[in-house]
Structure 1
Amino acid sequence: MMTHRLLTTLAAALLLAGGPAVAADDTGSEATSGGIDVKESITVDAPPAKVWKAIGDFDAIDRWHPAVESAEIVEGENNEPGARRHLTLAGDGGTIDEELVARDDDRMSYSYRLIEGVLPVRNYRSEIVVKAAHGNASRIVWTGNFDAAEGVEDAKAQEVITGVYTGGLENVKKMMQAD
């Protein structure tokens, strides 16, 4: 089952990270790009506006990603650049803090960066975009750029982030097709 595999991957990420939260950037500065790129996408049989309504709110990831138990805005206003969300993961209760960098309703996209959390990465930036596909379908594209955390192999960091993305995207597809 995808949820079990994803949670196992996230648990492994926590173990690989060596316990304490991994900071977004060891220097405390905002990174512009890391050395690893991940891009995952999925086609969903639902109109883009419907998909964007389901996943477009920065604080809504717990409603569509099976590995996220809760999400709350802890600083700023939801969907406004600078807003920070605190995620609690299902299963192990690990946490992730992220900051919204940009959001564009017309383009149906938002980008964010990792502040700290259990993922085995640093200098992490990500973007989610919903695009029109064939007919009345949508294409969701989730991209990320990051460096592996200290002591973590690039391939392992890439595997974890790929698992996070595919787990979320597959669940959105399942949710949209159930409607």
Structure 2
Amino acid sequence: MLRRCLLTFVVLLCTMSFSLAHAHGPSRLKVKEFITIDAPAEKVWQTVGAFNSLSWLPPVTNVVMVKGKPDQKGAVRQVFVGEASVMETIKAFDSSKMMLKYKISKDNTALLPVTNYQSTITVKADGDKSIVTWKAGFYRGDPNNNPPENLNDETAIGAIVGLYKAGLENLKVIMEQ
């Protein structure tokens, strides 16, 4: 009888553990890209740190400041790709450290298949060159189990990696002219 109760308890415990392991939802995803640019860090920072402009980021067609100053925590911009847009808010801005931290404050998963996106971009001097690092943490576009392909982990990571690589490579071309 004791053996049977113990076996029942073990089966119940395993079932509960399996259910809990699959019920926690998606994991936070992370991406980090960097590039070395043959230009002084201060020059690169003037372009990268301009929250009111994303002229170096290929898919972006317009940036509109909605609230605040483009070098102040809490400032909000609307970033357009054609007619679609996302809203982004500065979380931290430090010119002396050449660091900008921002988050998407109004998602648009049709434009960028992520949610709860937060990003940091930094510029570091490396002699007369610059190292630009762009990293983000985010969740896929659909938090449910078995998301559609266009909102799953792979698509979310691919979209951010593609955006970051295209942006950093274009920034390098612009800065090295």
Question: Normalising by structure 1, what TM-score?
Answer: 0.76
Displacement over 3 Å in runs of 4+: none
**1:88 pairs with 2:88:** no
**1:58 pairs with 2:51:** yes
- List aligned pairs for 1:40-55, cutoff 5 A: 40-55=33-48
Query: What is the match of residue 97 of structure 2?
Result: 107
Q: How far did 1:138 drift?
A: 0.3
Sequence identity (%): 36
- List aligned pairs for 1:115-126, cutoff 5 A: 115-116=105-106, 117=108, 118-126=111-119
Query: What is the match of residue 88 of structure 2?
Result: 98
Q: Describe the SS at the equivalent of 1:68.
A: coil
Distance (Å, rounded) in 2 between the aligned partners of 1:177 and 1:82: 32
Distance (Å, rounded) in 2 between the aligned partners of 1:55 and 1:153: 29
Select the residue among 61, 70, 75 that pairs with 1:78. 70
Query: What is the match of residue 152 of structure 2?
Result: 153
**1:167 pairs with 2:160:** no
What CA RMSD, in Å, does the superposition of the two structures yield over aligned residues? 1.1
Residue by residue, what CA displacement relative to the aligned partner does 1:85-122 show, whole Å, maximum 9, x if unpaired?
Answer: 00111xx4321111011100011010000112221111
Structure 2: state its 5+ residue gaps: 1-26
Alignment coverage as a number of residue pairs: 141
Query: What is the match of residue 22 of structure 2?
Result: none
Question: Normalising by structure 2, what TM-score?
Answer: 0.77
Structure 1: state its 5+ residue gaps: 1-33
Structure ranking higher on relative contact order (CA contacts 8 Å, 6+ apart):
1
Looking at CA atoms only, which structure, 1 or 2, has the larger radius of gyration? Answer: 2
Select the residue among 18, 29, 46 that pairs with 1:36. 29
